[in-house]
Structure 1
Amino acid sequence: MSFVDTLRQWDEAVTCVNRQDLSEAFRIFLSIQEPNSKICFDIGCLHLLNQDLDAAEKAFDCSIRKDEHLAVAFFQRGITFYRKKRYEESLGDFQHAFKTLRGNQLIDYKALGLRYKLYACDVLHNMALAEAQLGNWEKAQENLVKALDYKTEARLNIIDRALQSTLKQKLFKPVEFPSKELFKPNKHYVAELEKKDYLGKAKVVASVIPQDEFSGFAPLQPQVEDGPTCPKEPEVLRALEGEPHTVLFEFVPETSDELAVVPGNIVFVLQRGADNWASVIFNGRRGLVPYNYLERLEISLASKQNEGVRTPPSREPPTRPERKQGRTPGYDSNGDTQCKETDGKPHDEIHLVALHSYESSNPEDLSFHQGETIILLSRVNQDWFEGQCNGNTGIFPASYVEEVPANGD
């Protein structure tokens, strides 16, 4: 079977799945004589959707034989083994998937035709579940603590709930791949399957000559002059910062910059002040919490390995510490964040002037007009800066601004 025929049948089968016609999709997929690794993966996903675990296992075996570096295929076969209650084999596949990630936070398969991101913390989550099924609760906890090193905001709650379950020696649900998401053939190759009339039929849209029927090419449009080239936008996916801590006591805030937490919450400490207040992140929000209300997560796990379930202390919470006048962790005396360079050391404010206006639809970008002054907060990379202007904070191209001399000249 030629590559063109395989491509056409692959595209037809995926279209049938989108129409919910799974029987026709199966018929087309199984008629492909020499399926590649991605097609075998698609067939395995459809078998999982039909609860045919044996057929799904064979399809994922075929996918892995054809591409031993396809981490998502190991992940899916691990799910198949888990459903068949073959937990040791399931653990082995999850471990192989994590090894294939090679220390990366995630693999985005969009470029290969699959709208899915395989997160390292999700793989470690399922490794912990397989260890728990085998009765290895300590190893399950170790995998979940390791998952915190690969944490992202979108996956934090999943790890938090799983960790609380292992502390009580209770099972939790696995992270599963959406079975209706399939590898699709390259859309540019598919577009070439159909014949196209690239010239088309010309049509007069407007003319100063009455009843003019002449058609031709439009003149070149004028180009923007003196405008700098906008650099490639930096990656917006950011891992969370700070060290994980468990909340021991309920804390009710009294000011707007303090954060409400309850026992069992996991927060990430960014900075601890001398006045016993800590700047933390919880559920994507920043705020202040008394440090004596917290306990390092690694310490809590080690101290409870031989005790089983972790229970909040029965004593009363400690006395609320006094807030020192002036600077608190991560804030200056006016309540604004301290300006930091990329090395984390505070410096005097650096002012920039906008050489050109910058408008962007991205919420994390900073828009400004030509001539406005911008306070530099950090240098993201050589092409992008982070700054503050008109009360707004965001990133912007470095080529759009220049630094104002310190003497004001």
Structure 2
Amino acid sequence: MLYTELIRLWDEGVRAVDNRDWQGALAKLNQISDPTSRTLFVTSSVHLALEQFDMAIKTLDSVIAKDERLAVGFFQRAAVHMMTNRLEEALGDCIWAQKHMRENTIIDYKQLGLRYKLYSWQVLYNAAAVHCRMGQWEKAGEILLAASQERGGRGVQVDLAMDSIARREVIAPLFVPEGVVFRPRKQDVEELRPRDFLGKPEVIISDIPHDDFGGFEPLRPQKPGYYEPKVEEGQDSRYMCVKNAYMAKSPGELTVPAGAHVFVFSQDDRNDLATVIYDGQRGLLPNFLLEPVTKKTKGKKKKYSVPSGIPLPPSLKPPTRPEAAVSLPPELPSSYTIDTCTSSPSQDIITTQSPSRQTEGADSVIVKAHYTYTVALSVPIDIEYRELQERVAQKLGQPAALIRLR
């Protein structure tokens, strides 16, 4: 049996005991397939309240079998044995209860769910009650005298019992009060209640018109009109825009506002009607009201706006690499140019700046070569191409055969 089911039935049985619904309590407690000593104690208390003493004793036998050191179980069974005039069994239970008190004057069962404190003087009191029924008045008086000397003893109750014994009157046994039973832990009962850890979802903003779905998006029911409906192969289906508002004039037609986007299943030129879906509803609209969805242009980008259906997929063409603006260094005359080429084996790009004279009559110039990085070197004005190629290759750390200058 699941522990949660045990706690549920136990709690419902205790609630029935609080309402003095004894039959309802038995119905709930008897459904527990694997009872514990504490749930069985509740059942015995219900039988005792119904004055079913034999059933109460039988249930208390099971309680003690489950927990052999439960002193309050022996105490309660001793009292029930006296009610059925089983004095020897009652006296034996009093002895066992006193033994399992383990020389304590009090045992508090609150931690186990029973709001009851068992005192050692109460066990002695019931033992004296057994001796009264056996006619052993002197023995009963001695036990009551010992009970009055116990700490926590109720002097008035013991004194009244001693007066009754002096008059040779039988005293009534003590019981655990009616309705005082073992209860499940409050934390365990609270765990049975369902908890909402995520809270209630709310739609803050949505691209879909009139959207009230607040759940997990992949679990959204695919309502026609909000998603691309399935169409037959070869069918000319698409989204179109309604030019003017239209009111339904016959069954099967739709009322659609102006500017709405509808999904067209098919168009019948003979009847001038089209089968469309709008806002989750399927119906008919005149063909002359439909026009292609207009494009909205923003800058250089073009995008179709289809608020009633799924957004159009992005373009498959990747964006081009932006062209960086190239400016001439201040020392170059505006008549000079910069060109690029690629070396055939490695496809590396090399750009060179045309030579510029630093001073009039100078015999050397500064050449800048743009590769993975930029290098500058001083060369004579009348240098040959192959020598310049070798110097640039040496500067860049590349083979001269891979470098072409333009």
- TM-score, L = length of structure 1: 0.47
Which structure has the greater CA radius of gyration? 2
Higher relative contact order (CA closer than 8 Å, sequence separation 6+) = 1
